[in-house]
Structure 1
Amino acid sequence: MRGLTRLPALAGALLAAQSATAIQLDITDANSIKTAASTIAHGMMQYYTGNQTGGTPGLLPQPYYWWEAGAMFGSLIDYWYYTGDSTYNDVVSQALLFQTGPDADFMPPNQTKSEGNDDQGFWGMAAMSAAEVKFPNPSPSQPQWLALAQAVFNSQALRWDNTSCAGGLKWQIFTFNTGYNYKNSISNGCFFNLAARLGYYTKNQTYLDWAEREWEWVESVGLISPIYQVFDGTNDDLNCSQLNHLQWSYNAGVYLLGASVMWNQTTGATQATWEARVRGLLTATSVFFQNNIMFEVACEPSNNCDTDQQSFKAYLSRWMAASSKVAPFITDLIALQLQTSAKAAAASCSGGNDGVTCGTKWTVGAWDNTWGVGQQMNALEVIQGLLIDSVPGPVSNTTGGISVGNPAAGTGGDTNPGAPTGRISTGDRAGAGILTAGILVALLGGAWWMIA
């Protein structure tokens, strides 16, 4: 297994060898795309130890946080959906079910010490994807994919906070966590994304109403600008009167898919409004492309992307492709960007001791001597997404959906979301989120020069 600590020592040899091998990709050939995706997925799973003796199913080793594991298993659901390869299905199911927690809502005791709404949201969106693509169901005695997504949505709806800013979700769930007073785009975006997709799947208008409410709130505080830029977050201690103007690719992506689903589920003037929002979001994503190659504008140019940020391109790629299945009018608008990015991502997968390890910067045309779960996931999602036209769109409960839901899931254990719902061990890992406490300090301190 490729180890995180071995690679630096081998860097010289790896750089010398990188030209000898690389991911070969013909974007017009489905078999070539599937082979490339298989190679990249295999490399990504070399970092996962949760299914090994002594490991905890669903967890990645340090430095990876819990949320990124949920995102990774979401990418493997996509992998099966696009390629039909079931190699990782059992591992994915084991991980998702192990991390559901005692209330089957992705609030496991090993994470609740510092779990945020966005962290829970990524696991919930993975379960939602499983329901939408008819990923093999768990046994009837286990939580079901749709019910898990509903549990995340319901538990977060209980946390909707009207005490400041006239609504919205806080980043953190519990008062004792740094960032509790930060209302950020990704936490609210995950909730919006889930609400729209649950509305699509169940045909329950209540979910769609929540999605509309969430969008209107995000716009009202300026987290989505008049030209559809999606900014990072805002401090509710200041009643959301100031914004952190950092833009991250996954924030744009999470709203893009939700808005595309809302376009699909509306008609008339309302649908026209959602179409304008989808088109606006797509136009604003141009900040994340350089010569049609995706890059993380807030950190790649300065070479300071942290472990979380190394994976953000995966989600923009994932949600751009998925959006085209529910809002087909965007297909031609995104094709060149995704195809060009996929070719650039494949070129970056030319390093490591295997010659096919993927790097961070796709804009350099080669491996950039970086590696990790995020780098693999980025390349996997943009490359396998090239198969989007060859797979069916998401199902619903009226078009062949097979996952069993529970509309009341997640409503029983979180009536006081400002306090922990279970016993917390002092040995719990620091939770995941888009920002570590240190970065949050920077955002609320030194980075406030970006705030208007």
Structure 2
Amino acid sequence: MKGSRSTIPALAGALLAAQSAMGITLDTTDPNSIKTAASTIAHGMMSYYTGNLTGGTPGLLPGPYYWWESGAMFGSLIDYWYYTGDSTYNDVVSQALLFQTGPEDDFMPPNQTKSEGNDDQGFWGMAAMTAAEAKFPNPPPNQPQWLALAQAVFNSQAIRWDNTSCAGGLKWQIFTFNTGYNYKNSISNGCFFNLAARLGYYTKNQTYFDWAEREWEWVESVGLISPTYQVFDGTNDDLNCSQLNHLQWSYNAGVYLLGASVMWNQTTGATQSTWEARVRGLITATSVFFQNNIMYEVACEPSNNCDTDQLSFKAYLSRWMAASSKVAPFVADLVATQLQTSAKAAASSCSGGNDGVTCGTKWYHNGWDNTWGVGQQMNALEVIQGLLIDSVPGPVSNQTGGISVGNPAAGTGGDTSPGAPTGTISTGDRAGAGILTAGILVGLLGGACVCWDRGPED
């Protein structure tokens, strides 16, 4: 059952009584309506969070939610402030992010390190990156800064780039004793790619762009991104990445979409044309996650077997589709109908629970489907608040008003940042990558048949 709600923010409190009988109403063309809906949904999401209460641990959601989803949630609240201007949760967000940085300021806290994967760390790093890009209020000078935290995550992962199998890539897990250490998955490599592109945009340091190029080449070479831009879940490096897990998850498509859109923004000529083709291809391939222009998690929603993690994945595709349109303007027309239709459907789902505004899982259900949770709230929050993308400034850089202080050596344990990648992936490195890239397995199975353990869950 859901926990009791914490103190209601002023805006949400004024709305709950009026909306409880009819759920959330949303006019997708009215900024005030969008902000009102977002406020109510954000309040519902934060009712699950107890880390800021006496006896709680800042930054942690209670079970069954894993650490990575906490980082994702705080990222959504940075977005909430960015889109709405409502600072209700800013202090809680800052407290959570700073408490979970760990002794090396790289989001490797002792309470998580033994089971932490690269994707888990990546979600916290991307939250810090969003804070830097959006000019979220800086921490005190004696605390780690948003840009430096994002750099620390990137640098610590660059050191983990693994050439012992599959000609490169990041493993899912960081430590050998964790299940999944032999799995190289799209989300871990996608978080790294996403951070590399965005750090390049912010700092204008070519090394980050070089790493982004290298990462994209690698995921294509092993077939995790197919010739038609489907993004598959992962591959076993014990088999030299010669076989793929063909499951498609919405957040995998989204994490590469934003990174590719940033790369389009920062390139010119033929290189920019290449990135535009990639962006358009990724958007076309996301059609698998829409039914009548309403977003759904194709690998598990139809069969009612989404796990706790997967119940939040739509939030990230929504988040990154909207953000992509800000750095690659041609994206806006390609995603507008899907995002607007999905937002309207999401609002319709937020009509359940004791408060009458609890959000459900299946947006195409035409009302609440009797499910609830952090993921359901975050999904609805991101797709609805993202409708305000045209009314907010784009991400800043250190040349366009950025206020976050960086540290190029953060996360390295030394005094230099990782060097530029050497060499390119050759045809010989493409180790059977094209053998299993055809078709959408989930379309045949109608459910989430997980061929290998998939994270981030440990």
1:300 equivalent in structure 2: 301
* Cα offsets for 1:284-343 (capped at 9, x unmatched): 000000000000000000000000000000000000000000000111110000000000
Structure-2 separation of matches of 1:426 and 1:306: 38
Q: Give the Cα separation in 2 of the matches to 1:351 and 1:242.
A: 43
Cα distance in 2 for partners of 1:52, 1:377 equals 21
Unmatched runs of 5 consecutive residues or more in structure 1: none
What TM-score results when the alignment is normalised by the length of structure 1? 0.89
CA 1:426–1:223: 2 relative to 1, 3 Å: closer
User: Against the structure 1 CA distance between its residues 199 and 346, is the aligned structure 2 distance closer, same or farther, given a 3 Å change threshold?
Assistant: same
Aligned partner of 2:165 in structure 1 is 164
CA contact 1:14–1:352 (8 Å) conserved in 2: no
CA contact (8 A) 2:166 2:429 kept: no
What SS does structure 2 have at the residue aligned with 1:42? helix
Residue 257 of structure 2 contacts residue 283 of structure 2 at CA under 8 Å; is this kept in 1? Answer: yes
Q: How has the CA–CA distance of structure 1 residues 8 and 53 changed in structure 2, closer, same or farther, with 3 Å as cutoff?
A: closer
Give how far 1:20 is off: 2.9
Shift of 1:436: 25
Report the CA distance shift for 1:134/1:17 in structure 2 as closer, same or farther (over 3 A): closer
Q: Structure 1 residues 433-442 or 24-33, which shifts more?
A: 433-442
Q: What is the CA–CA distance in structure 2 between the aligned matches of 1:75 and 1:436, rounded to whole Å?
A: 33
Q: Deviations over 1:378-434 (max 9, x none)?
A: 000000000000000000000000000000000018999999999999999999999
Indicate conservation of the 8 Å contact 1:230/1:251, yes or no: yes
Measured at CA, do residues 177 and 19 of structure 1 come closer, stay the same or move farther in structure 2, by a change above 3 Å? same
Q: 1:87 to 1:286 in 2, by over 3 A?
A: same
- Any idea what SS the aligned residue of 2:184 has? strand
Equivalences, count: 447
What is the CA-CA distance between 1:349 and the residue it aligns to? 0.2
Change (3 A) 1:425 1:266: closer
> For the structure 1 residues 38 and 140, does the alpha-carbon distance in structure 2 shift closer, same or farther, using more than 3 Å as the test?
same
**Shift in CA distance, 286/439, structure 1 to aligned 2, threshold 3 Å:** closer
Residue pair 1:14, 1:355 contacting (<8 A) in 2 also: no
What secondary structure sits across from 2:157 in the alignment? helix
Relative to structure 1, the CA distance from residue 162 to residue 426 in structure 2 (aligned partners, 3 Å threshold; closer, same or farther) is: closer
Inter-CA distance 127–12: structure 2 relative to 1 (3 Å threshold): closer
In the other structure, the counterpart of 1:432 is: 433
Structure 1 residues 40, 418: closer, same or farther in 2, change over 3 A?
same
Q: In 1, distance between residues paired with 2:166 and 2:177? A: 20
Question: Are the equivalent residues in 1 in contact too, given 2:249–2:297 (CA < 8 A)?
Answer: yes
Task: Between 14-23 and 419-428, report the one with greater CA deviation.
Answer: 419-428
Q: Taking structure 1 as reference, are residues 431 and 384 closer, same or farther at Cα in structure 2, changes over 3 Å only?
A: farther
Hey, what does 1:343 align to over in structure 2?
Answer: 344
Q: Secondary structure at the match of 2:307?
A: coil
Secondary structure at 2:235 match in 1: strand
In structure 2, relative to structure 1, the CA distance for the partners of 1:308 and 1:427 (3 Å cut) is: farther
Q: Are the structure 2 counterparts of residues 424 and 12 from structure 1 closer, same or farther at C-alpha, using a change threshold of 3 Å? A: farther
Deviations 1:364-390 (A, max 9, x none): 111000000000000000000000000
Q: Are residues 125 and 438 of structure 1, via their aligned partners in 2, closer, same or farther at CA, if it must alter by over 3 Å? A: farther
1:60 corresponds to: 61
In 1, the alpha carbon distance for the partners of 2:44 and 2:435 equals 24
The percent identity for this pair of structures is 91
On the 8 A contact 2:210/2:420 being kept in 1, the answer is: no
* 1:141 to 1:416, Cα distance in 2 relative to 1, 3 A: closer
For the residue of structure 2 that corresponds to 1:20, the secondary structure is coil
Q: Could you tell me whether the CA contact under 8 Å between 2:78 and 2:130 is conserved in 1?
A: yes
Is the CA contact 1:182–1:236 (under 8 Å) kept in the aligned structure 2? yes
C-alpha distance in 1 between matches for 2:391 and 2:356: 29
Any idea what SS the aligned residue of 2:330 has? Answer: helix
Deviates more, 1:421-430 or 1:300-309: 421-430
Structure 1's 107 and 259: CA in aligned 2 closer, same or farther, altered over 3 A? Answer: same
Give the C-alpha shift of residue 238 in structure 1: 0.1
Give the conservation status (yes or no) of the 8 Å contact 1:44–1:377.
yes
Give the C-alpha shift of residue 21 in structure 1.
2.2
Distance, in Å, in 1 between the alignment partners of 2:306 and 2:327 is: 32
Q: Is the 8 A contact 2:359 2:368 kept in 1?
A: yes
Native 8 Å contact 1:110 1:428 kept in 2: no
Query: Structure 2 vs 1, CA of residues 182 and 427 (structure 1 numbering), >3 Å: closer, same or farther?
Result: closer
Q: What does 1:24-423 align with in structure 2 at a 5 Å threshold?
A: 24-412=25-413
Q: CA deviation at 1:24?
A: 1.0
State the TM-score, normalized to the length of structure 2.
0.88
Contact 2:408 2:416 in 1 (8 A): no
Q: Provide closer, same or farther for how the CA distance between residues 6 and 399 of structure 1 changes in structure 2, counting only shifts above 3 A.
A: closer
CA distance 1:293–1:437, shift in 2 (3 Å): closer
Cα 1:14–1:135 shift into 2, 3 Å:
closer
Which whole-Å CA distance do the structure 1 matches of 2:164 and 2:46 have between them?
43
Seen in structure 2, the aligned counterparts of structure 1 residues 25 and 426 have a Cα distance that, compared at 3 Å, is farther
Greater shift after overlay, 278-287 or 406-415?
A: 406-415
Question: Using the alignment, how far apart are the partners of 2:429 and 2:7 within structure 1?
Answer: 27
Q: Which runs of 4+ in 1 moved over 2 A?
A: 5-21, 413-448
Q: 1:31 and 1:12, CA in 2 relative to 1: closer, same or farther beyond 3 A? A: closer
Choose 20-29 or 96-105, whichever is displaced more: 20-29
Q: CA, structure 1 residues 430+36, in 2 after alignment: closer, same or farther (shift >3 Å)?
A: farther
For the residue of structure 2 that corresponds to 1:153, the secondary structure is: helix
Return the alpha-carbon distance in structure 1 between the equivalents of residues 248 and 366 of structure 2: 24
C-alpha distance 136-18 of structure 1, shift in aligned 2 (>3 A): closer
| DSSP 3-state at the match of 1:234 | strand
CA distance in 1, matches of 2:147, 2:432: 25
